[in-house]
Amino acid sequence: MVSCYKRQSLCLLKRHHHRSLLTRHLSTAETPLTSKIAIVGTGPSAFYTAHSLLRSQPNLQLTFFEKLPTPFGLSRYGVAPDHSEVKSCESILVELSQNRNVQIYTNVEIGKDISVKELKQNFHSIVFAYGTSEEVRLRVEGEEQGHSKGVILTSREFVDWYNGNPLWDSNKAVDLSTVKDVTIIGNGNVAMDIARLLLCPVEQLAGTDIMDRAVGGLRTSAVERVNIVARRGILQSAFATKELRELIQLEQHGVKFESVEGQDLGSIAGIVKKADRVIKRKVETIVNALRPLSERKLKYQVSEKFDKFWNLQYLKSPTAFQFNEKNQIQVEFTTNAIQLDSPMKVVPTETKQYHTTDLVITSLGYKSQPLPDFPVNNISFNDKTGTITTNGKYQILNSETNEPLEGLYATGWLTKESKGAILNQVGSGMALAEIIVSDLQKGQMLRRSDEHNSESLDLNKLTTWKDWVKLDTFEKQLGQDMGKLRVKLQDLQTMKQVQDADSELELDQLKKNITQRSN
């Protein structure tokens, strides 16, 4: 059965395909393009771009390079384990892997194993789509101390804990056995995912691809309340309505949405009426959830007893953290006020609020890191925002001249300060593909098609898609044995052992070893 999410994705791609056919029909360039394009990264922004490129020009030759032994990027390591319908986008890359004009190499780091210069010498265009690797920090008093104590975590640390990113720091193990009150700073979709996983019945997660350590940690969790705190107001809520509804619907399982704090819902009723459809739907969903049960039309049975609670808090910014002898955190908040001449902006006031909590998780967004040889290739990178600098049309700017660099492009969270859902990457991929094709048709590329390259890349020793398929099959078989969708391997050495195994006997022994460790 095709998921609703996948149907949306395919619908957008088909719409673009029809438009591309029309564009090609009207184009004066009759000769099909056979240019070579390198794509750094294998996440949604990368494979949606590739899909659109081949829809437009089927003879293009695409080569993916992935740093990790596993593909799919954000989909594999960012999407919540109970959101399998979102992960269905991975079928796009699987489909691409069957195309004879597509090569996918994993476990290869651009800037280290292969330089950007080498890519420029061997490809007509390069698309950087390698996503983010760091989290945004608050930079306030006590934050670093809280991290060292293990009572302040970033959303990346928490997500990597339950999603099994190989780059997860094992020193950041999560112990929820004495944690009753959790405060999440930020209210984007990642924050809502974390809140939902902390509050939902563990049985809903056990059969997914969540890490076993996370299932164990959630089973022993003492969490009773989750506070979701945002700097701005309700109208600027960063979460999607879908994520909001999923949290509200936990009332079926004894989890109560108890309040909205910091902003009076009645006072913004007039503004909400004039707001766009997305904002209006969010606010209406919140208002409806807080109504008496007798006034709500529900398709499910609400629990008669509640033992867990969550709330939304607005117009508060954490300004300091202090710690007591019980290792609890006293969070100092500055109250913000909405700017009268600009309802979308807030300004700090002199009012302070304090809240004692057991665990703080900051969810403020992610940042990318430049590749080591960006400077020598004049690739402009903004260290403050953690993004590649483009001209707004995906074309990377020269760090010296501020002009577009011919044949170099960037897309995804690498360019947008970690904003946008996976489905948004469909449109971005379409737009970027059209720009690349147009540039190639105009001869705007890294090297001319008739140039002879004496320094061609030797890709024969690299890990290929076939190696991933072997790993994928192993994970699914292991999951089947343990009653799960799959068991994600996190240890890089174990991944290599699976890929290097020459017989079923070796693979069976590896399965036994992993099962024993899990028990």
pLDDT of residue 424: 86
Please write the tens of the pLDDT for every residue from 367-390.
999 999 999 999 999 999 999 999
Question: Which has the closest alpha carbon to 229: 62, 406, 364, 38?
Answer: 364
Beta-bridge partner residues of 225: 181, 309
pLDDT of 90 > 80? The answer is yes
- 3-state SS assignment for residue 497: helix
Last residue of a domain, one of 347, 364, 381: 364
pLDDT of 22 > 50? The answer is no
Residues 341, 373 within the same domain: no
Look up tokens 């959630």; give the residue. 218
Residues 349, 383 within the same domain: no
Residue with more model confidence, 419 or 1:
419
Q: What gap in Å lies between CA 504 and CA 53, rounded to an integer? A: 39
pLDDT of 366 > 80? The answer is yes
Report the share of the chain in percent with pLDDT over 70. Answer: 92
Question: Which has the closest alpha carbon to 302: 266, 258, 253, 262?
Answer: 253
Residues 381, 324 within the same domain: no
Instruction: Output the known binding site for FAD.
Output: 45, 66, 74, 110, 413, 420-422
pLDDT bracket for residue 21 (50, 70, 90): very low
DSSP 8-state class, residue 141? B
Report the share of the chain in percent with pLDDT over 90. Answer: 83
Residues 420, 306 within the same domain: no
Stretch 297-318: mean pLDDT: 97
Answer for the pair 182, 328: CB distance below 8 angstroms, yes or no: no
Residues 250, 374 within the same domain: no
CATH number at residue 109: 3.40.50.720
Exposure on the CB side of residue 246, measured as CA atoms within 13 A: 22
Stretch 457-486: mean pLDDT: 94
Q: What gap in Å lies between CA 124 and CA 192, rounded to an integer? A: 41
DSSP 8-state class, residue 151? S
Stretch 57-72: mean pLDDT: 98
Mean pLDDT of the chain: 92
Last residue of a domain, one of 364, 384, 410: 364
pLDDT of residue 423: 86
Burial (Cβ within 10 Å: 0-12, 13-18, ≥19) of residue 431: middle
CATH number at residue 192: 3.50.50.60
Q: What are phi and psi of 7, to 5 degrees?
A: -60, -40
Q: What gap in Å lies between CA 472 and CA 475, rounded to an integer? A: 5
Stretch 168-189: mean pLDDT: 94
pLDDT of residue 289: 97
Range of lowest pLDDT (1-5, 142-146, 266-270):
1-5
Q: What gap in Å lies between CA 430 and CA 433, rounded to an integer? A: 5
Kindly state the tokens that stand for 319.
């300004």
pLDDT bracket for residue 3 (50, 70, 90): low
pLDDT bracket for residue 53 (50, 70, 90): very high
pLDDT of residue 179: 98
* Number of domains present in the structure of the chain: 3
Question: Which has the closest alpha carbon to 329: 68, 146, 124?
Answer: 146
pLDDT of 472 > 70? The answer is yes
Residues 119, 230 within the same domain: no
Residues 117, 230 within the same domain: no
pLDDT of residue 196: 99
- The phi-psi region of residue 386 (left if phi > 0; otherwise alpha if psi is between -120 and 50; otherwise beta) is left
Q: What gap in Å lies between CA 398 and CA 379, rounded to an integer? A: 5
pLDDT of 30 > 90? The answer is no
Range of lowest pLDDT (95-109, 216-230, 353-367, 444-458):
444-458
**Helix 155-163 and helix 189-199: axis angle, to 10°?**
50
What DSSP letter does each residue of 273-313 carry, written as one string?
Answer: HHS-HHHHHHHHHHHHHTS-GGG---SSPPPS---EEEEEE
pLDDT of 8 > 80? The answer is no
Q: What gap in Å lies between CA 170 and CA 161, rounded to an integer? A: 8
Q: What gap in Å lies between CA 418 and CA 368, rounded to an integer? A: 9
Please write the tens of the pLDDT for every residue from 92-110.
999 999 999 999 999 999 9
Q: What gap in Å lies between CA 182 and CA 151, rounded to an integer? A: 10
pLDDT of 453 > 90? The answer is no
Q: What gap in Å lies between CA 370 and CA 360, rounded to an integer? A: 29
Kindly state the tokens that stand for 168.
């997860």
Q: What gap in Å lies between CA 443 and CA 402, rounded to an integer? A: 21
Residues 231, 304 within the same domain: yes
Q: What are phi and psi of 276, to 5 degrees?
A: -70, 170
The residues, ordered by sequence, that sit 6+ positions from 375 with a Cβ below 8 Å of its Cβ are: 399
pTM exceeds 0.85 for this model:
yes
- 3-state SS assignment for residue 395: strand
Which run of H or of E encompasses 475? helix 465-481
Residues 128, 221 within the same domain: no
Residues 25, 165 within the same domain: no
Instruction: Output the known binding site for NADP(+).
Output: 187-190, 231-232, 243, 420
pLDDT of residue 28: 39
pLDDT of 7 > 70? The answer is no
pLDDT of 26 > 60? The answer is no
Cα–Cα separations (whole angstroms), residue 399 to 39, 389, 417, 422 = 21, 9, 19, 29
Q: Using DSSP, how many helices (H) and how many strands (E) does the chain show?
A: 19, 20
pLDDT bracket for residue 9 (50, 70, 90): low
pLDDT of residue 479: 95
Stretch 151-162: mean pLDDT: 97
Please write the tens of the pLDDT for every residue from 236-288.
999 999 999 999 999 999 999 999 999 999 888 888 888 899 999 999 999 99
pLDDT of residue 1: 41
Look up tokens 């302070």; give the residue. 352
Alpha-carbon dihedral 288, 289, 290, 295, rounded to 10 degrees? 60
The residues, ordered by sequence, that sit 6+ positions from 16 with a Cβ below 8 Å of its Cβ are: 52, 55, 426, 430
Instruction: Output the known binding site.
Output: 45, 66, 74, 110, 187-190, 231-232, 243, 413, 420-422
Q: What gap in Å lies between CA 451 and CA 447, rounded to an integer? A: 7
Q: What gap in Å lies between CA 389 and CA 395, rounded to an integer? A: 8
Stretch 348-357: mean pLDDT: 98
Last residue of a domain, one of 331, 364, 397: 364
pLDDT bracket for residue 29 (50, 70, 90): very low
The residues, ordered by sequence, that sit 6+ positions from 179 with a Cβ below 8 Å of its Cβ are: 221, 222, 223, 358, 359
Residues 397, 322 within the same domain: no
Residues 475, 444 within the same domain: no
Whole domain around residue 172: which residue ranges? 137-364
Answer for the pair 168, 174: CB distance below 8 angstroms, yes or no: no
How many residues appear in the chain? Answer: 519
Q: What gap in Å lies between CA 429 and CA 93, rounded to an integer? A: 13
Range of lowest pLDDT (22-26, 198-202, 256-260):
22-26
pLDDT of 311 > 80? The answer is yes
Stretch 208-220: mean pLDDT: 97
Question: Which has the closest alpha carbon to 122: 445, 410, 460?
Answer: 445
pLDDT of residue 347: 95
Q: What are phi and psi of 174, to 5 degrees?
A: -105, 120
